[in-house]
Structure 1
Amino acid sequence: MNFDIIRTGRAILHVTDLDKSRAFYEALGFIETASDDKNLFLRGIEEHNHHSLLLKKAETPVVEVISYKVRSEEDLDRLAAFFEKQGTKVKWMEKGSQEAVGRALRIQDVSGLPVEFYAEMEPAERLLQKYHLHKGAKVQRIDHFNCMVPDVEKAYNYYINELGFSCSEYTAGEEEKIWAAWLHRKPSVHDVAYMNGFGPRLHHVGFWLKDPMNLIDGCDVLASMGYGNAIERGPGRHGLSNAMFLYLRDPDGHRVELYNGDYLTSDPDFKPVRWDLDDPMRQTFWGHEAPDSWFEEASEVLDVHSNEKVKGSEPTLKKRKPTFVT
């Protein structure tokens, strides 16, 4: 494997009302880097790149792409050659075709998800010590994607064996079939998770907070501004990953997770943690169950070549509530 994927980079979501979206994400503490009448570029307090979340005005809320940062331009060329050798069609986004991002390539991955790889993004001021600008949940940085796919083992095998991801934790059921998996490139629990369900769809984008109290701050600010019904689940602690969590729905229904407190996975002798599908603590360490919406609802995705919605399919494993994924 001769390419280096660094980490989760950015998400591009289509929204129907930029003003409503701006008010919601600013309440959480996101920083606006730039905007116009069709685009809103947001980043976290500690991020030194132009954005990690791009909201585009559209008639229908949908996911345009989820993106990973690679180390160099050469890595993009190597990835393109790798995909083309496999028969995967590559779409190049030339430098200048996207604001703030250099040359990038997009594919429809093995699960049908729209995935982008890029090496270059314009810098932005890191606001880590500009404490007077910190507000809401004080969102620090993008952390991971969670994707609902019909065949988790297919995604698991491809991203580990072909793209060099590693597994931190997974959930297995009968005959050791994998129902959910947490995969990473950076040395934390995950850059992407896959959960069993109707898909491909994006379940949520996770953003890192500096401490658990910021979850509470986020809830208080949202409630005081009339966004209480945006809180879907939590605050709580995951069994899987051991992290604190809060799940929210933005004005278009896109789900975001505020996340804090997982652990280091960089040691070469780290062994993936196995959870049994019937272990009640896998869902939430404290025991409270997720609402049905958490298992059933997710954001539809676009085809990177046709810009049409990708048609979903039912999961290959027998229907039951998917395992809890962070």
Structure 2
Amino acid sequence: MPVPTHVFDPPFNILRSSHVVLDVVDLKASRDFYENAVGLHVEDADSETVYLRAVEEHQHHSLVLRKAATAACHRLGFRVASENDLDKAAAWFAANGIVYSFVERPFQGRTMHVTDPFGFQIELYATMEKRPHLLRRFDLYKGCHPQRLDHFNVFAAEVQDTVDFYARLGFRLTEYGEEDGDNGRIAAAWMHRKGNVHDFAITNGRGPRLHHFAYWVPTAMNILHLCDVMASSGYLKNLERGPGRHGISNAFFLYVRDPDGHRLELYTSDYQTMDTDHEPLRWSLKDPRRQTLWGAPAPRSWFEQGSQFNGQAVREPAFVADVTIAD
């Protein structure tokens, strides 16, 4: 299937992935996990919602936990460059028959909610309350010292169409996995807005579902330290995969599950991709190094489980790729 053409003048300017909003059943348990084990910092909290951020972030929050009857992914948040970009987004969605609405959200300026044609529930905003970053407040560091939210990875039932849609919005392809042969189909794509490997990764599978969201940490030692922290604080079974290294993105990684089963990746060691002539890196689906350059094999849960989006029916993938899995 075709690699999308990069669009350098998109209809509106998305800057980067910004925050994720998760529905959780036990708010206290989720707060304890993210605050005390992982090491995110609570900015505001009440009996229904907790707002957290990482040490490098000036923005008020990059993770929102909402108390709910059922665990789910509520929204994926992206920041746009200006208020004018929100108006441009509204015009573009209207012209393309995509329903959107403007909503009020605490600590954020004017915020748009939109569900894309594939069922991914997106939140766009231009301004958010600022906080002094905590980068030099080493006395407050906990867990793996997460620095900033980096990306989202989703299961998409229609990979090619989803990739093409986000390419129209200016997301640029950095790496992709493709079947071999003249008519090989793209089974996974890594796309960015901010100049590293990805803000949004799109993977073939039952979707729409969130596979994981990820925070960047300073070094591989921070990830190893988190393994020690989780193993000694009651979260040993929450360690799902890793540590290890992906060939794709060059990421040194660890995947963990929160008390509701939402998947979080902690990672480091990717690279810059901001040059306009950066060529996407193709990986054959027969090359197991794309998934695991080294490390223990991924469990079945990593391939099959994900967080559903509120109210969105999950569809079977349009095709089943013939993939070589690292063992």
Aligned with residue 74 of structure 1, among 71, 74, 84: 84
CA–CA distance in 1 between the matches of 2:97 and 2:176?
Answer: 29
Quote how far apart the aligned CAs of 1:6 are: 0.3
1:56 aligns with 2:66: yes
Indicate the residue corresponding to 1:121 in structure 2: 128
Indicate the residue corresponding to 2:15 in structure 1: 6
Aligned with residue 164 of structure 1, among 162, 170, 179: 170
Quote how far apart the aligned CAs of 1:320 are: 5.4
Taking only the aligned residue pairs, the percentage that are identical comes to 46
- 8 Å contact kept, 1:195–1:322: no
Aligned with residue 117 of structure 2, among 107, 110, 116: 110
Structure 1 length as normaliser, TM-score?
0.94
Quote how far apart the aligned CAs of 1:176 are: 2.3
For structure 2, the 5+ residue unaligned runs are 1-9
Indicate the residue corresponding to 2:316 in structure 1: 314
CA–CA distance in 2 between the matches of 1:278 and 1:129?
Answer: 44
Give the aligned residue type for 2:76: I
Residues 100-150 of structure 1, C-alpha deviations (whole Å, 9 max, x = no match): 011111111122110111001001120000011111100111000000011
CA–CA distance in 2 between the matches of 1:146 and 1:177?
Answer: 19
- 8 Å contact kept, 2:179–2:322: no
CA–CA distance in 2 between the matches of 1:72 and 1:253?
Answer: 35
- 8 Å contact kept, 2:193–2:199: yes
Change in Cα spacing, 1:272 to 1:138, as seen in structure 2 (3 Å) is same
Structure 2 length as normaliser, TM-score?
0.94
Change in Cα spacing, 1:322 to 1:91, as seen in structure 2 (3 Å) is farther
- 3-state SS of the aligned residue for 2:42? strand
Indicate the residue corresponding to 1:205 in structure 2: 213
Quote how far apart the aligned CAs of 1:322 are: 9.1
- 8 Å contact kept, 1:137–1:217: yes
- 8 Å contact kept, 1:144–1:192: yes
Residues 136-168 of structure 1, C-alpha deviations (whole Å, 9 max, x = no match): 1001110000000111111111111x2011000
Residues 170-192 of structure 1, C-alpha deviations (whole Å, 9 max, x = no match): 00014221000000000000000
Runs of 4+ displaced beyond 4 Å:
319-324
Indicate the residue corresponding to 1:305 in structure 2: none
Aligned residue pair count: 314
Aligned with residue 246 of structure 1, among 239, 254, 265: 254
Quote how far apart the aligned CAs of 1:323 are: 7.7
Quote how far apart the aligned CAs of 1:23 are: 1.0
1:280 aligns with 2:282: no
For structure 1, the 5+ residue unaligned runs are 303-308
Quote how far apart the aligned CAs of 1:318 are: 2.2
Quote how far apart the aligned CAs of 1:220 are: 0.7
CA–CA distance in 2 between the matches of 1:76 and 1:106?
Answer: 11
- 8 Å contact kept, 1:180–1:323: no
- 3-state SS of the aligned residue for 2:161? helix
- 8 Å contact kept, 1:111–1:151: yes
- 3-state SS of the aligned residue for 2:144? coil
Quote how far apart the aligned CAs of 1:288 are: 3.2
Give the aligned residue type for 1:251: P
Give 1:1-326 correspondences, 5 Å limit.
Answer: 1-26=10-35, 27-93=37-103, 97-160=104-167, 162-174=168-180, 175-286=183-294, 288-302=296-310, 309-318=311-320
Indicate the residue corresponding to 1:306 in structure 2: none
CA–CA distance in 1 between the matches of 2:282 and 2:117?
Answer: 24
Indicate the residue corresponding to 2:6 in structure 1: none
Give the aligned residue type for 2:190: W
